[in-house]
Amino acid sequence: MFSSLSRFAPVAARGARGFASSSARHHKVAVLGAGGGIGQPLSLLLKLDPLVTQLSLYDIRGAPGVGADISHIDTASNVKGYPADQLEVALDGAEVVIIPAGVPRKPGMTRDDLFNTNASIVRDLSKACAKVCPDAHMLIISNPVNSTVPIVASTYGSKFNPNRLFGVTTLDVVRSSRFLGEITGEKPEDIRVTVIGGHSGVTIVPLLSQTPQAQKLQFGGAEWSNLVHRIQFGGDEVVKAKDGAGSATLSMAYAGAKFSNQLLRALNGEKGIIAPSFVRSPLFESEGVEFFSSNIELGTGGVEKIHQVGALAPEEQKLVDACIPELIKNIKKGQEFVASS
């Protein structure tokens, strides 16, 4: 287990548990929705990350129990679980807040079908964050990410700091490495695919033309098309296999812990940490897209630099063209929800 956790930080010095531990800075991380399918394994992985010194677990159900359980693990961080009426206590002093609170899909649903339930959950949680820990870095997992991230930004209003709000799209990157590796026979941990756009269906755009291991694929051919489709709709595979019991939880916990470790290393001053994330972005602003996922260079203040998408194959340009109108719709829906509530 620990050898695979070492993938979280392939080039950095490692702590005892395989995570990078480049400095002794203290980081309090809060998980909102810690009692759920993602929240529990994510909290476990965060307990194994030496960069997390304090772990605050909140849920409307079950967080004190999860906290007590995880607190017995023999790593240095302190853990506490908080019940439904102690959200503000849980958030006090948090530097990073990770939100996987909300309902998951069942077969036949789109992520947008979750909007009616999850929009208000994310709005209310982010309202509390804006009040108690307005400078915290916010990592949003709750779906539909393309709408929940704009909901957080709009809820923050004048307090919104675009360098500190991230939609977690890491699972798309993780899947891309894994699925491409299955085709080429190369190790997934050596494969890095930049995934741009958003986090649902056609808004997920993997840039395989920029991935050395994908050059054997014929762009526009069946193998390329099937791979792109699998990356875009990988979440459906899990929803279908779980047959009504939810969506990806374990792979998502891994992806969430991986991204939070990348951010914590950057907050500690480690340079050169680049990961895709759905952020307030100028890249397609002229086309009306306010939030977009692309490679982000992380730094001590969060988003340090938003990388250009780079050269696209014509087939990838078509994917971007399909992504843009859907993203605009999803983002607007989130913004209008906050404006009208």
Binding residue ranges for substrate: 105, 111, 143, 175
In angstroms, rounded to a whole number, what is the distance separating the alpha carbons of residues 260 and 49?
A: 10
Q: Does residue 142 touch ligand NAD according to CB under 6 A?
A: yes
Q: Does residue 235 touch ligand LMR according to CB under 6 A?
A: yes
Q: Does residue 239 touch ligand LMR according to CB under 6 A?
A: yes
Q: Does residue 246 touch ligand NAD according to CB under 6 A?
A: yes
Interface with ligand LMR in residues 122-141 (CB under 6 A): none
Q: Which does 239 bind (CB under 5 to 8 A by kind): ligand NAD, ligand LMR, none?
A: ligand LMR
Cβ partners under 8 Å of residue 220, min gap 6:
314, 315
Catalytic residue among 72, 137, 199, 229: 199
Q: Does residue 111 touch ligand LMR according to CB under 6 A?
A: yes
| CB 305 to ligand LMR: min, Å | 26
9 class by beta-carbon count within 10 Å (0-12 exposed, 13-18 middle, 19+ buried): buried
Nearer to ligand NAD, 103 or 274 (CB): 103
| CB 237 to ligand LMR: min, Å | 8
| CB 96 to ligand NAD: min, Å | 16
Q: Is 88 helix (H, G, I), strand (E, B) or coil?
A: helix
Cβ partners under 8 Å of residue 116, min gap 6:
none
Side chain identity, residue 329: K
Q: Which does 37 bind (CB under 5 to 8 A by kind): ligand LMR, ligand NAD, none?
A: ligand NAD
N- to C-terminal Cα separation, the chain: 45
Q: Does residue 121 touch ligand NAD according to CB under 6 A?
A: yes
Q: Which does 139 bind (CB under 5 to 8 A by kind): ligand LMR, ligand NAD, none?
A: none
Q: Does residue 171 touch ligand LMR according to CB under 6 A?
A: yes
Side chain identity, residue 232: Q
Q: Does residue 20 touch ligand LMR according to CB under 6 A?
A: no
Catalytic residue at 26?
Answer: no
Note the maximum CA span of the chain.
55
Q: Does residue 249 touch ligand NAD according to CB under 6 A?
A: yes
| CB 233 to ligand LMR: min, Å | 8
Q: In terms of Cα–Cα distance, which of 235, 240, 180 is closest to 203?
A: 235
Query: CA distances (Å), 98 to each of 233, 239, 244, 294, 335, in order?
Result: 24, 22, 25, 20, 21
Query: CA distances (Å), 224 to each of 180, 193, 209, 228, 294, in order?
Result: 10, 14, 10, 6, 21
Q: Does residue 330 touch ligand NAD according to CB under 6 A?
A: no
Which residues are identified as catalytic? 199
